[in-house]
Amino acid sequence: MKLFLMFLSAFLLGATLGANDAGNVFGTAVATRFIKYRTAVLLTFLFGLLGAVLQGGKGIDPLKSMTEQSIDTSILVGLVVASVGLVFTFLGQPISLSQSVVGGLLGLALSQKNFNLAVIEKIILSWITAPLIACLLSLVIYKVLTALFIRLKIGILDREVMIKLGLVFSGMVGAYALGANNVANTVGMFAGAWEDVSYTMLALLGGVSIGIGVVLFSKRVMMNIGKGIVFLDGFSAFVSVISSGIAVYIFSIVGVPVSTTHTIIGAVIGIGIHHGFHTLNYKTIRDIVLSWVLAPTICLILTSSGYAIFIL
Amino acid sequence: MLFKAQKIIKERIDNYCETAMKCVKEGIEVLIGCMDNKNCEDWKKKVHDVHRAESSADDIRRDIEYILFSRLLFPESRGDILGLLEKLDRIPNQIQSSVKMVLEQQIYIPSLIREELEQIAIITEKCAEITFNSVDLLFSNFKEPLEFLGEIDAYESEVDKFQSKAIEKIFSSQLEPLQKILLRDLINEVSLVTNYAEEAGDFMRIIIVKRMV
């Protein structure tokens, strides 16, 4: 029964993450109709799974070492975060599942007074640095690529073809980075409790569940990310996705699970800054930031109360 | 480099520009011919050619529109190409309407304004040629038309000058009041072609600049 619940919560968590975070990879391209939704879903599924299996294991350790949790408490966190994530996904609001998982674990850790402060500090620092890096990257990449594009002797339709290929490529990079970095958020907390299962098997489970979430529920968040913050043309969509993908990939190499939601929004804001602050839709940014704060806080409250009610 | 859809669109646009330019050239030929011959009846067959060229340009434009909607093209490019075609299409339309005006209303062009009208016709042809060439460049090296768009504006201003001069001459002459009005309308009608070319040029400028920032 416990094994089933553990599997179920890991699966739900992965599916929610996939539904919510696929928007971060192809949201800009799909919402602006540069890439078909179906193509985006297929590419996210394949490359997300590949990233999870090939490089997903690295991020599992930091999450595992943040706080020692039993099977019961891990299941509690998984179910709480998946439920909160699903609610936000149906509302079309991009939230950070990484933050929610950390929020949920923190809720338990605080109740048990059992946590590794250094790891928590490292993770929280990455929440701030990841979007900043993505924002900076998008500003630099935008300027560099614009200068390069201007030098190219191409027609407007050639330019379109190049951007289209760029969008597909950046989406694949983004999906790979999503799988590599975020699979830890779905299965990382079970790593300690589920010792007879290898990291690769855990990553495979996480990868598949992310993929299923992408296929089934990702459309609404994709549209919100792509259209809400700032108007994006094809070139800007490409730059934002590739910047976010690179930022997430950097953190995957370091082994810190970060939020792709944070990085894509950081990158899109970078494009907005390039075009002028007046182009940014502050209301959407406010709503998104609010949901970033709300989701982990809700998870923290729910897991600590769930711990008090069901486990203590 | 181009995908199939883009390749087809480029081919059709080349074809459109060629046909539209043919219409302009034939129309200008009729206008100048009418001035020389006095008897525009001889030019009726030629007017039919102008009409034919204009209507095949229309057919190609419709074909391009169909391709633009049925194939997967970026919405921004689709909007830009449709908008540009709409602007360009007014050039052959306007030439055809000027030519029809001369023939249907049997307007006799007096020697008094022949020089101005001839200049307007010659400049109009050059202006249209640069406009359609710029469209071609837009699809091979999208920044290059910027060098030529200034010329379109300059030609348009030149036509404006001849237009004012001709109208002044018409109204200070001893011509019949009705003929004065007819001639003024004709001058205005022909001069509109460069205005439309200028508008197409401005639209191209926006298309280019949008892709440079």
B140 or B34, which is more confident?
A: B140
Burial A71-88 (b: 16+ CB within 10 A, else e): eebbbbbbbbbbbbbbeb
State whether A158 and B9 contact (CB < 8 Å): no
- Give the closest residue to B191 by CA, choosing from B138, B155, B140, B146: B155
Residue percentage of chain A with pLDDT more than 90: 7
Whether residues B141 and A234 touch (CB distance < 8 A) is answered with no
> Do A261 and A96 meet the contact criterion of CB atoms below 8 Å apart?
yes
- Mean pLDDT (chain B) is 90
Considering chain A, what percentage of its residues have pLDDT values greater than 70?
88
Model confidence at B42, pLDDT cuts 50, 70, 90, reads low
Q: How far is B6 from chain A (nearest CA, A)?
A: 6
- Shortest CA distance to B205 belongs to which of B157, B160, B150? B150
Is A165 near chain B, with CB under 8 Å? no
CB-based contacts of A45: which residues, under 8 Å, 6+ apart? A175, A211, A214, A215
Whether residue A72 is predicted with pLDDT greater than 90 in this model: the reply is no
Q: Domain range for residue A10?
A: 2-311
DSSP state, residue B73: -
Tell me whether residues A155 and B10 touch, CB distance under 8 A. yes
> CA-CA distance, A262 to A240, in Å (whole number)?
12
- Closest residue of A to B4, CA-based? A161
The rounded percent of chain B whose pLDDT value lies above 90 is: 67
For residues A123-128, average pLDDT: 82
| DSSP letter for each residue of A64-111 | HHHS---HHHHHHHHHHHHHHHHHHHHTT----HHHHHHHHHHHHHHH
pLDDT at residue A230 tops 60: no
Q: Which residue does chain A place closest to B13, by CA atoms?
A: A157
Interchain pair A155, B72: CB under 8 A: no
Q: Give every CB contact of residue A163 below 8 A, 6+ residues apart in sequence.
A: A34, A234, A235, A238, B74
pLDDT of residue A126: 83
Nearest-by-Cβ selection for A150 from B75, B76, B212: B212
Give the per-residue pLDDT at B127.
Answer: 97
pLDDT(A66) > 70:
no
Identify the pLDDT of residue B91.
Answer: 96
- Encoded tokens for A171: 């989406």
Query: Residue B60 pLDDT more than 70?
Result: yes
Query: Who among A157, A233, A234 is closest to B6 (CB)?
Result: A157
Residue A206 or residue B171, greater confidence: B171
A154 touching B (Cβ < 8 Å): yes
Of A34, A36, A149, the CB nearest to B74: A34
In chain B, positions 47-66, which contact chain A (CB-CB < 8 Å)? none
pLDDT of residue B176: 92
What's the number of domains chain A is made of?
1
Query: Cβ B72–A36 below 8 Å, yes or no?
Result: yes
CA B48 to chain centre: 17
Supply the angle between the helices B114-138 and B146-171 in degrees, to the nearest 10: 160
CB spacing of B9 vs A157 below 8 angstroms: yes
The pLDDT-based confidence of B188 (bands split at 50, 70, 90) is very high
Distance from CA of A206 to the nearest CA of B (A): 34
Predicted pLDDT at B108: 84
Q: Give the lowest-confidence range in A6-10, B76-80, B173-177.
A: A6-10
Specify the pLDDT at position B54: 93
Measure in Å the smallest separation between the Cα of B140 and chain A Cα atoms: 4
**A195: pLDDT confidence band, cut at 50, 70 and 90?**
low
Half-sphere exposure at residue A241, Cβ-oriented, CA atoms within 13 angstroms: 40
Task: Check CB contact under 8 Å for B141 and A153.
Answer: yes
pLDDT at position A34 over 90: no
pLDDT at A192: 64
Nearest CA in chain A to B145: A155
The pLDDT of residue B2 is 62
Residue B130, helix vs strand vs coil: helix
pLDDT-based confidence at residue B71 (cuts at 50, 70, 90): low
Q: Quick one: pLDDT band at residue B25, thresholds 50, 70, 90? A: very high
Instruction: Locate all alpha helices (DSSP H) within chain B, ordered by sequence.
Output: 4-37, 44-70, 75-104, 114-138, 146-171, 177-210
Average pLDDT, chain A: 81
Contacts of A40 in chain B (CB under 8 A): none
- CA proximity to A210, closest of A5, A53, A105, A94: A53
Joined together, the tokens standing for residue B187 give 């001058």
- Indicate whether B155 pLDDT > 90: yes
pLDDT tens for A237-274 read 889 889 988 998 888 888 777 888 788 888 988 988 88
| CB pairs A-B closer than 8 Å | 57
Give pLDDT, residue B40: 66
Which amino acid, A84? V
pLDDT band at A161 (very low <50, low <70, confident <90, very high): confident
Please check the confidence at residue A231 and state whether its pLDDT lies above 70: no
Q: Do B72 and A161 touch (CB under 8 A)?
A: no
Chain B residues with CB-CB distance to A158 below 8 A? 1-2, 6
Give the model's pLDDT for residue A276.
78
Measured between CA atoms, the residue of chain A closest to residue B213 is A146
Predicted pLDDT of residue A40? 86
The arithmetic mean of pLDDT across residues B55-65, rounded, is 92
Rounded to a whole number of angstroms, the distance from the CA of B53 to the nearest CA of chain A is 26
Residue in B85, B142, B205, B207 to test binding to A, most A beta-carbons within 10 Å: B142
- Pick A155's closest partner by Cβ from B72, B138, B210: B138
Report the pLDDT averaged over residues A67-87. Answer: 81
Length of chain B: 213
Q: For residue A136, what pLDDT is reported? A: 95
* Stronger pLDDT, A144 or A56, i.e. the higher one: A144
Q: What is each CA distance from B15 to A174, B9, B64, in whole angstroms?
A: 41, 10, 10
pLDDT at A99: 81
In this predicted structure, the answer to whether residue A110 has a pLDDT above a threshold of 70 is yes
What is the pLDDT at residue A13?
Answer: 83
In chain A, which residue's Cα lies nearest the Cα of B210?
A233
The shortest C-alpha distance from B209 to chain A (Å) reads: 10
Residue at A284: amino acid letter: T
Return the residue in A30, A36, A146, A157 with the most chain B beta carbons within 10 A, the one to mutate for interface testing.
A157
Determine, for residues A155 and B140 on separate chains, whether the beta-carbon distance falls below 8 Å. yes
Interface test mutation site (partner B, options A156, A167, A273, max chain B beta carbons within 10 A): A156
- pLDDT band, very low/low/confident/very high, at B41 (cuts 50, 70, 90): low
Amino acid at B35: M
- Helix orientation angle between A156-187 and B75-104, rounded to the nearest 10 degrees: 160
CB of A33 within 8 Å of a chain B CB? The answer is: yes
> Considering the entire predicted model, what is its pTM?
0.76
Interchain CB distance below 8 Å, A161 and B138: no
Please identify which residue in the block is written with the tokens 């504006």. Answer: B153
Q: Which two tokens stand for residue A73?
A: 């408490």
In this prediction, residue A47 carries a pLDDT of: 92
pLDDT score at A171: 87
Residue A86 has pLDDT above 60, yes or no: yes
Summarize the confidence of residues B34-63 as an average pLDDT.
82
Identity of the residue in B3, B139, B210 whose CB atom sits nearest the CB atom of A161: B3
Q: Residue B145: its chain A contacts at CB < 8 A?
A: none
List the end-to-end C-alpha distance of chain B, in Å, as a whole number: 23
B118-142 pLDDT, tens digit each: 999 999 999 999 999 999 999 989 8
| Gap between the Cα atoms of B69 and A46, Å rounded | 30
